[in-house]
Amino acid sequence: MVALPTSIRSRAVTIVTWLNLIVQIGIVGTGGLVRLTASGLGCPTWPKCTEDSYISTPEMGIHGLIEFGNRLLTFVVLAVCVAQLVVMWAMRRSRRTEWRLALGLAIGIPVQAIIGGISVWTQLNPYVVGLHFIVSAIMVTLATLLLCRMLTIETPPRLSKVDPLSWVIFVMTAVVVIVGVLTTGSGPHAGDADAPRNGLDSELLQHFHAWPAYGTTAFVLFAVFVSAGRARRAWLFVLGGFGAQMALGIWQSRTGLPVELVGIHVVLSMVVVSLVTRAIYIRTTSGSSATATNNTVK
């Protein structure tokens, strides 16, 4: 493989790593579009779109086009993950943790494809569809960590040095996401008119989803007060994200869950996951000698 000048390689890694995070969040948005437009079974089979075709046909209408478009975006995400491995090849030994994160993202693509196939085979079983979303949250977390680490001169402390407050916020954020998935699985946006629901009490789950969100926001507010510098600014972004999500959640629940608000809520949930990951990373490394820069990739 031809060795690129350090400055060009550094710029390429930065651009591709940013793209990786963007596409990981973006495909959640298109997946939400599939579900909110009742296009989940627009392609009723997998891996083919129909029994006889890998692509949607005019007879399948807009639902087939939306579902097939989302499937095509999987290849875009895969291409970005492969590009990530290519631009990081020269540092696979010097930056082992970052290389493993990039590998994890690449491996996650076929895993997500298989889960997507199972969701089609099970006629959009809400638990399988929910698993699809949770794996996406994990992928966004990995992409955020990779981006944070690739903008750092020195290897930061290991994850075991994360402080208790950060762990509490991380766990509570995960609870908010998981209960949100269960709430969605009990609501009206099933992805198809005949798709099954999980049978849980949707109104009760809305409260179970909101309560940990309020609690997490309180802990984030505390983190703002006990942090300083970059860490405080990072937690302020998280606080804004949770505030926006709570406002959207209340608004959509009082207006009959309009698809536009639900779609924004879905995408913003991934943004919040990314912001929480970044804030925890910065809080963990704020006491170390690691310094952010865009021109430090070796």
Is there a domain that residue 219 lies in? yes
CB 233 within 8 A of CB 286: no
Is there a domain that residue 290 lies in? no
Is there a domain that residue 126 lies in? yes
CB 181 within 8 A of CB 130: yes
State how far the Cα of 2 lies from the Cα of 269, in Å rounded to an integer.
40
Is there a domain that residue 271 lies in? yes
26-32 mean pLDDT: 92
Q: What is the pLDDT of residues 238-294, one digit of tens each?
A: 999 999 999 999 998 888 888 899 999 999 999 999 999 999 998 887 654 333 333
> What pTM did the predictor assign?
0.88
Is there a domain that residue 296 lies in? no
Q: What is the pLDDT of residues 138-180, one digit of tens each?
A: 999 999 999 998 876 455 445 546 788 999 999 999 999 999 9
Is there a domain that residue 294 lies in? no
CB 233 within 8 A of CB 227: no
Is there a domain that residue 291 lies in? no
155 CB-side CA count, 13 A = 10
What residues make up the domain containing 211?
6-285
Which of 152, 134, 136, 140 lies closest to 97, judged by CA? 152
- Going by the DSSP 8-state scheme, the letter that residue 157 receives in this structure is P
Is there a domain that residue 293 lies in? no
Q: How many domains does the chain have?
A: 1
pLDDT at 4: 41
